[in-house]
Amino acid sequence: MSKVYYLKVAESDKYEQILEQELKNKFKKGMKVAVKLHMGEDKGMFNPTLAKRTIKVLNKLGCEPFLFDTPVTYPGARESKQVYEKTAVKHGFTKESIGCPVIISDDYVGVKTKNLDLEVSKELLGADAFLVLTHFKGHPASGMGGAIKNIAMGCVSPKSKKDQHTVGIPVVSDECTACGTCEEVCEYSAIKVKDKAVINKNSCWACTTCVYNCPSNAIKSKASFDALMTEAASGILKKFDDKPVFYVNDVRSITKNCDCFSNPGKIIAKDVGIFMSDNLVAVEKASTDLVKKQEGRDVFLETHHHDPYLQIKQAEKLGLGKEDYELT
Ligand code: SF4
Ligand code: SF4
């Protein structure tokens, strides 16, 4: 059973103590540590103060950390390396304020998985250790956006992000009864129902939410978004099979949508706290479980009609960890 550390009060010094205690035997002196986080489209991002506190621990251990993220496929504050660099500065992610170099990575190395030809950040793959800092919140394409998504989407090129959002674009079969459910649950307005459901491939993000919700099983996809995203995370993490990896989930400011939106929307659950583990599946499961327990309902499923546990189960299937955990 994996240990997941839980801190209700994120500001507590215990954060530094737990992190130091957990990292000191694996994140050794002189190691180049790639610290992945989202530096924000506009309002939502990984908390810069928590990032700074994390880097302080790594510096104390004698590691050589760097913060990094990658540009995205669409116009906005992260549309290119140059634009994202300015955004990072605007949001307080600078070497001076955080305590380590900040890199917007746009140099990639090919990594092949079953359905994807990934282009993975060269800086990440050149590191000796990997620390994944995730702002845990809702997501329209996967119900919940946690560490799995942070790795799968956040560590790859714009093309590889796009591939994860297109390979699984579904098709509608003749079994369609025109009930309209898919149109109701599609958050991208990509499916319209008249005599039959019709998907507009240009606006479809291949989230496969319509597939899960069709009562007639009339929509099929080559691979679900949960499966593709987890496959990408697995392909990347395989490169760290013999290197240390650690996960920190910040489960506060739980917005409806992810930090990729300029406005991530309303808060859908009260703050829960910080979760830390070296087991990806366990940290995601514990974070999701405690949000559900605290709210008394599955807010991610309710908000996005997409089961947040699907990606966690998929990750376990791919050997990225075990769901069993012990909260400490
Ligand atoms: S939910 Fe299924 S049956 Fe209903 S309109 Fe959509 S595709 Fe057709
Ligand atoms: S997969 Fe279905 S629900 Fe998702 S964006 Fe495409 S049409 Fe909409």
Residues 24 and 49 in one domain: yes
Which tokens hold the place of 285? 């499961």
Q: For residue 79, what pLDDT is reported?
A: 94
Question: For residue 91, what are the CA distances in angstroms to 45, 49, 85?
Answer: 9, 11, 10
Taking the centre of ligand 2 as the mean of its atom positions, its distance from the CA of residue 81, in whole angstroms, is: 29
Q: For residue 99, what pLDDT is reported?
A: 97
Domains in the chain, number: 2
Rounded to an integer, what is the distance from CA 233 to the centroid of its chain?
Answer: 9
Give the Cα separation of 289 and 287 in Å (integer): 6
Taking the centre of ligand 1 as the mean of its atom positions, its distance from the CA of residue 191, in whole angstroms, is: 10
Q: For residue 64, what pLDDT is reported?
A: 98
Residues 144 and 237 in one domain: yes
Residues 6 or more apart from 239 whose CB is under 8 A from it? 111, 120, 125
Taking the centre of ligand 2 as the mean of its atom positions, its distance from the CA of residue 158, in whole angstroms, is: 20
Ligand 1 mutation target, pool 182, 184, 186, most atoms within 8 A of CB: 182
Residues 249 and 155 in one domain: yes
Residues 6 and 86 in one domain: yes
Rounded to an integer, what is the distance from CA 66 to the centroid of its chain?
Answer: 19
Chunk the chain into consecutive blocks of 10 residues (it has 328) and report each block's average pLDDT, rounded to whole numbers.
95 97 97 98 94 98 98 94 97 97 98 97 98 97 97 98 97 97 97 97 97 98 96 98 98 94 92 98 98 98 97 97 95
Residues 202 and 263 in one domain: no
Residues 191 and 246 in one domain: no
Q: For residue 56, what pLDDT is reported?
A: 98
Q: For residue 153, what pLDDT is reported?
A: 97
CATH number at residue 319: 3.40.50.11440
Ligand 1 mutation target, pool 171, 173, 181, 220, most atoms within 8 A of CB: 181
Look up the ipTM and state it. 0.99
From start to end of the chain, where are the E strands?
2-7, 32-36, 64-69, 102-104, 108-112, 117-121, 129-135, 137-139, 143-145, 171-172, 191-193, 197-199, 219-220, 245-251, 254-255, 267-269, 273-277, 325-327
Residues 125 and 208 in one domain: no
Q: Is 218 in the pocket of ligand 1 (CB under 6 A)?
A: yes
Indicate the SS3 state at residue 189.
Answer: coil
Residues 115 and 65 in one domain: yes
Give the Cα separation of 271 and 7 in Å (integer): 11
Residues 185 and 231 in one domain: no
Residues 109 and 244 in one domain: yes
Where in the sequence is the domain holding 206, given as residue range(s)? 169-220
CATH number at residue 195: 3.30.70.20
Residues 309 and 200 in one domain: no
- Residues framing ligand 2 (Cβ under 6 A): 170, 186, 188, 190-191, 199, 204-210
Q: For residue 68, what pLDDT is reported?
A: 97
Residues 176 and 290 in one domain: no
Give the Cα separation of 257 and 187 in Å (integer): 11
Question: For residue 41, what are the CA distances in angstroms to 76, 228, 265?
Answer: 7, 24, 13
CB–CB of 315/234 below 8 Å?
Answer: yes
Q: Is 211 in the pocket of ligand 1 (CB under 6 A)?
A: no
